[in-house]
Structure 1
Amino acid sequence: MSSTLELDPTPATAPAARRGRWIDDWRPEDPEFWQRTGRRVAHRNLFFSVLAEHLGFNVWILWSMVVVSLNPAGFDFSADQLFWLISLPNLVGSALRIPYTFAVPRFGGRAWTTISASLLLIPCLLLIVAVQDTSTPYWFFLLAAATAGLGGGNFSSSMANISFFFPEGKKGFALGLNAAGGNIGVAVTQLLVPLVISIGGGVHLAYAGMMWMPFVILAGVCAWFFMDSLTVAKTDRRSYVTALSNKHTWVMSFLYIGTFGSFIGYSFALPLLIKSNFPELVNIPLLVKLGFLAFAGALIGSVTRPLGGWLSDRLGGGRVTLLTFAGMAIGAVGVLVGLDTHSFPVFLGSFLWLFVMSGVGNGSTYRMIPAIFGAQARARALEEGRDPDSVVPVAKRHSAAVIGIAGAIGAFGGFLINQVFRISHVNLGTIAPALWAFLAVYLVSIGVTWWFYLRRRVLVARVPSLAHAQV
């Protein structure tokens, strides 16, 4: 989720010394300032931001791997209970995304990165306590899983903070690197946790919490000693209010549920889905130690996200998004075929295709938002006889607000996906109805994308400049 915060247009003329690593003079758009000191400071903050955000995703996704080993470890939980344990981190993480964004100007990037990274110790500790005794009540497991959502909020504050440090021409790459560094944390957790908890034979679930604690402490310490805060950052609440009244905010939020919601929802659910639908795989020790290869989905979905932005720059975000949903519909059909034939290669391969498409869609929908709101602002300026270039700063703030809202709603989509899987599996005995529902959503998304952004009547008659905006 991008920031809805802006830089003060009248920066200080000279640095003012302040305690706490606050920077009062920050002018990234000034080439001389950027070459002399800005680039070095910005890249240092980016490095430690990626570290903290990566750990946020590590902890956020942690319960997706823990649940598949709870029953083998002696805990007697039903399928319904297990699905709730992977759903709650999604719900809490999505709810925290917007307040985490506003925490950066309130506390400063350095302090808030230290705080948000250190808070990750809570879900790690609660996980360790929960799995120590098979008589631990289920409500305590729910509490421990819910606190893992703290890691989901880290994405927003990290993206907001880093957006302040880079000039416009370099911001896209920096934010893309920051986002990719976080998303890959999902794959890292799903690869390493099954290996670590099996060290020494048996199942040692406490290791799943212990393994991240030294790195969490390291991230907090590094943020405190090596990161900075910028005084020129301020909250733009007005853009949020304006964005909420624009229909395109809700259209793009719906589309982002289909892309990022699918990515994070499938990431949480896939290990449990594989184990519940292909129970015979537990007899293959190598597959168990590799987490049933579930990590491959999150990995491929993370690395294809930049591809979506690159393709959108060349083909238009609307076209890429429409093709993405068409590809996701094909992937959903493939998973249904894998279920029907009980073919694990088809099942997993189709899910990997879904992850590829969701990654591309994440990039293309993010590309669409600034194009849409920029085109709207320019069209309005032309109608009012103003210079279209004069509305660029306002359009950027509105776009950032929409990205923030869509990011939170998209993450909530992951919770919805997990709940649809839960209802389908528990009440109907199969996840096939859930996949039919997702297929229907992808088909509706194709229609929504075409109706709002690709019809020629919309492009030419309603918002003329959209025709040249590569929406």
Structure 2
Amino acid sequence: MTPGTGRRAPRTGRSWISRWDPEDEGFWNDGGRRVARRNLWASIASEHIGFSVWSIWSVLVLFMTPEHGFSTTPEQKFLLLSVVTLVGAVLRVPYTLAVPVFGGRNWTVIATLMLIVPTVAAFFLVRDPDTPFWLLLVLAATAGVGGGNFSSSMANINSYFPEREKGWALGLNAGGGNIGVATVQLVGLAVIALFTTSAGYLVPLFYAPLILLSAWWAHRSMNNLVHVRGDVAGQLSATRDRHFWIMSLLYVGTFGSFIGTGFAFGLLLQAQFGLEPVQSAGIAVLGPVVGSLIRPVGGRLADSLGGARVTLWVFTAMAACAAVLVLAVQAGHLVLFVGAFAVMFVLTGLGNGSTYKMIPSIYAARAEDAIAAGEPREQALARTKRVASSMLGLIGAVGALGGVAINVGFREAFAATGSSAPAFVAFGAFYLLCAVVTWTVYLRRPSRSASADEPVRATAR
């Protein structure tokens, strides 16, 4: 593995690898695995810090209390969370395309150093309760850069590992990033416990040296792959497929609910039940931990039972959970509310794993159907793999938009009624819609007339 020259300068230097063939077992065993894992650990660190910065406002809003001079309303706080979620979701698309343009190592260093902007700005501005709300909105938007790290990190690591180990590597990379949502809440809880709620500015200060350390680690340990090229055409072709939009809808329901409620849970406990910041943070940290750790279980269940079946059960149970949350809010029952929310986080984690497992299955079925119709095997597999890979990145971006809808829903519910109950009613109806779509498209047995999606249905089942 010696540095080489790609088609585009300046793809030369010590960090560039010209030959990379992880499917060759000899190459993989003779140093390839070691290099790939070295890149993986540095990537996990960067993505973890990115997720933490992306979700840092879910903690900072807990410090904005009247006791410390803040007059920010619950509706304004939910708007802050909506803005940061929206920016992070939108940035996932260009971040994916940045890897082949700049190189995986180079872009990881750039993307990590960019996290300094929202952390340093938050350190100075959150200390002043007289900071205008519009400026807080701008500041929250800058934290969205942390949300884009997921897509670029996944796209980069996907190129390093052979097909037989990608599930493990990508799962580890994604899980290490998702846990960042819980880590920042633990940091907030520690700051509250040690320094009281007057020291919210210490949360971003804590992350500043970690960002620099992570960037240094990426610069020192990671590589760029010469052969990696952008696939805009693949992404465009993915958006013309109806399954892209169907799976995006389902992932909005699972991952969107995970990231949206992960951001909002602590604020909900504070706004709906009047809990103190330390109590809210102490309870809220558990949700993202459970949702992140349970995600691989959803994938494993999908392997054995079928992705569509697991997804259908998940959405049905999520709708039931939403109904219980409405009852808990109306009754003012905190224990029931927290218990139902804990179940909801488990379900979103299972759904994240099962829906992501459905995507390659759909295109594997289509490839086999094309091969049976006479298309050369290699050509069919290459074409469907290209579309499926592009679809994974784009669906991840669209799914994050669900987090925006969650926080906008809470904002509108509080503005209209002073309660979160109407939002849970809307979410429950959406989950039922997702369940119906899953059953209709991927589980319902077709009539005797031929269906173009019968191989897809069979694989999903």
Please classify the TM superposition score into its range, dividing by the shorter chain length.
Answer: over 0.9
Distance 1:389 1:454, change over 3 A: farther
2:235–2:390 CA contact under 8 A, matched in 1: yes
2:18–2:226 CA contact under 8 A, matched in 1: yes
What displacement does 1:198 show?
A: 4.4
- Partners of 2:333 and 2:232 lie apart in 1 by 51
Deviations 1:436-461 (A, max 9, x none): 00000011111000111001218973
Mind listing any 5+ residue stretches in structure 1 that lack a counterpart? 1-11
Counterpart residue identity of residue 420, structure 2:
I
- Give the one of 120, 124, 128 matched to 1:129: 124
- Partners of 2:26 and 2:446 lie apart in 1 by 46
Alignment of 1:118 with 2:113, yes or no, is yes
Q: Which stretch of structure 1 is more off in the superposition, 145-154 or 331-340? A: 331-340
- Partners of 1:123 and 1:201 lie apart in 2 by 23
Counterpart residue identity of residue 223, structure 1:
A
Distance 1:329 1:360, change over 3 A: same
Deviations 1:261-284 (A, max 9, x none): 0000101111111101111x32xx
- Partners of 1:186 and 1:219 lie apart in 2 by 17
1:191–1:290 CA contact under 8 A, matched in 2: no
Q: TM-score, normalised by structure 2?
A: 0.95
- Partners of 2:418 and 2:454 lie apart in 1 by 51
What displacement does 1:19 show?
A: 1.4
Equivalent residue number for residue 149 of structure 1 = 144
Alignment of 1:323 with 2:317, yes or no, is no
- Partners of 1:311 and 1:155 lie apart in 2 by 24
Counterpart residue identity of residue 85, structure 1:
L
Q: What secondary structure, in the 3-state scheme, does the structure 2 residue paired with 1:469 have?
A: helix
1:315–1:470 CA contact under 8 A, matched in 2: no
- Give the one of 67, 70, 73 matched to 2:64: 70
Q: What secondary structure, in the 3-state scheme, does the structure 1 residue paired with 2:375 have?
A: coil
Deviations 1:89-147 (A, max 9, x none): 10000000010001001000111000101111111011012123222211211111111
Alignment of 1:33-432 (within 5 A): 33-71=27-65, 72-279=67-274, 281-282=275-276, 288=278, 291-383=281-373, 385-388=374-377, 390-432=379-421
What displacement does 1:290 show?
A: 6.5
What displacement does 1:429 show?
A: 1.8
- Give the one of 4, 29, 33 matched to 1:16: 4
1:197–1:208 CA contact under 8 A, matched in 2: no
What displacement does 1:464 show?
A: 3.7
1:274–1:292 CA contact under 8 A, matched in 2: no
Q: What secondary structure, in the 3-state scheme, does the structure 2 residue paired with 1:233 have?
A: coil
What displacement does 1:387 show?
A: 3.9
Alignment of 1:416-455 (within 5 A): 416-455=405-444
- Partners of 2:344 and 2:161 lie apart in 1 by 33
2:189–2:282 CA contact under 8 A, matched in 1: no
Q: Which stretch of structure 1 is more off in the superposition, 195-204 or 85-94? A: 195-204
Distance 1:463 1:224, change over 3 A: same
Q: Which stretch of structure 1 is more off in the superposition, 124-133 or 354-363? A: 124-133
2:3–2:16 CA contact under 8 A, matched in 1: no
Counterpart residue identity of residue 433, structure 2:
V
- Partners of 2:22 and 2:97 lie apart in 1 by 22
- Partners of 2:221 and 2:81 lie apart in 1 by 34
Q: How big is the alpha-carbon RMSD for the aligned residues of Structure 1 and Structure 2?
A: 1.7
Deviations 1:244-270 (A, max 9, x none): 111110010001000000000101111
- Partners of 1:467 and 1:245 lie apart in 2 by 20
Equivalent residue number for residue 27 of structure 1 = 21
- Partners of 1:404 and 1:64 lie apart in 2 by 25
Q: TM-score, normalised by structure 1?
A: 0.93
- Partners of 2:58 and 2:208 lie apart in 1 by 18
Distance 1:207 1:301, change over 3 A: same
Deviations 1:33-65 (A, max 9, x none): 101110000000000000000000111110011
Residues paired across the two proteins, number = 453
Q: What secondary structure, in the 3-state scheme, does the structure 2 residue paired with 1:456 have?
A: coil
- Partners of 1:423 and 1:135 lie apart in 2 by 25
Deviations 1:124-173 (A, max 9, x none): 01101212322221121111111110100000000001001100100111
2:3–2:13 CA contact under 8 A, matched in 1: no
Deviations 1:336-370 (A, max 9, x none): 12112211111011111111011110111101111
What displacement does 1:462 show?
A: 2.9
What displacement does 1:84 show?
A: 1.1
- Partners of 1:417 and 1:131 lie apart in 2 by 24
Equivalent residue number for residue 9 of structure 1 = none
Deviations 1:179-209 (A, max 9, x none): 0000011011112212224433452111011
